[in-house]
Amino acid sequence: MGGQRAQVIDERQGRAAPPGAPVPAGPPPELVFTRRLRPVQVARELWAARELVRALAERDLRARYKQAVLGFAWAVLTPLALCAIFTLVFHRAVKIETGAVPYTLFAYLGLIVWQFFSNTMNQGALSLANNLSLLNKVYCPREVFPLATMLVATVDMVIGVGVLGLMFLVFWTAPAATFLWVLPLLVIQFAFTYGIALILSVAVVYLRDVRHLLPIITQMGVFATPVAYPLAKIPQRLQEIYVGVNPLGAVIEGYRKALLYGEAPDARMTMIAAASSLVFLVGGYLVFKKLETGIADVA
């Protein structure tokens, strides 16, 4: 016992404890890892790491567009191409009714939201796996890596919104006066997307098969989400359940009502989407913190 006491290390001071010092019951409180949800502390840590988030996002943007001839134009070429296909298939062949709103505007607005979600999901899922060497050398909240990918997707979305503004000019129309409803919908969209990105980022580290499933999920998701058609195409008795599982359905529908039809988003659907997004965000964070301690072991 005496020999054991002689090996006691005073962790607070970083030197050997004097002989006879009691054996500590555990590490000091500041070194104890906790999985309890502390929103204020989490927000402070992410804010403190804002420069790292910006640097990671800037690095990813440079890597994506630096050697591309068309540069940032690629951020809108994909949704524009899909918009053209949707216009031919869903508007001309299936005859999706959008009232007085041009279908191209209707579909493109949904595609901007979907493109943001799919970009964050795909890149966020790989954010930890692609930065294992960095996160093992630099101390920082590991949730900054999927957050940086969402920041990159936000830049793409802003570019897409600029093209949407040009579309309003082309079709000689303007966003409705109810456009301020966009702000709470943005919060719901970001909360849901970040929660999914947190879950997928650790899932890919443990199960590499997930990265092969993502392209399939992305391709199926764009048709399973009311991007090319209105939410009303979902059977009414299933709409609340659907929005609970996929809050993007209510978010896209809310954007269309606020920007294109001059109406407030459906209050009940928006509340369900908000509650569901909060569950995804909190659940994603807890899963992330639960699994992040083993990342170095499985990497």
In contact, 21 and 41? CB cutoff 8 Å: no
pLDDT at 92: 75
**Phi, psi for 234 (deg, rounded to 5):** -80, 130
DSSP state of 16: E
Q: Which residues does the chain have with pLDDT short of 70?
A: 1-37, 69, 296-299
Which among 230, 276, 228, 237 is positioned nearest to 254, based on CA atoms?
230
- DSSP E strands: which ranges in 94-194? none
Q: Which residue, chain included where needed, has tokens 């910006």?
A: 54
Indicate the domain borders of the chain: 45-65+98-297
pTM for this prediction = 0.82
Query: 3-class DSSP state for residue 83?
Result: helix
pLDDT in the model for residue 201: 93
Q: What does the pLDDT look like over 138-165, one tens digit per residue? A: 778 888 999 999 999 999 999 999 999 9
Q: What is the reported pLDDT for 31?
A: 46
pLDDT score for 12 = 45
**Model confidence over 212-246: pLDDT tens digits?**
889 898 889 999 999 999 999 999 999 999 999 99
- Tell which phi-psi region holds residue 14, choosing left (phi > 0), alpha (psi between -120 and 50) or beta: left
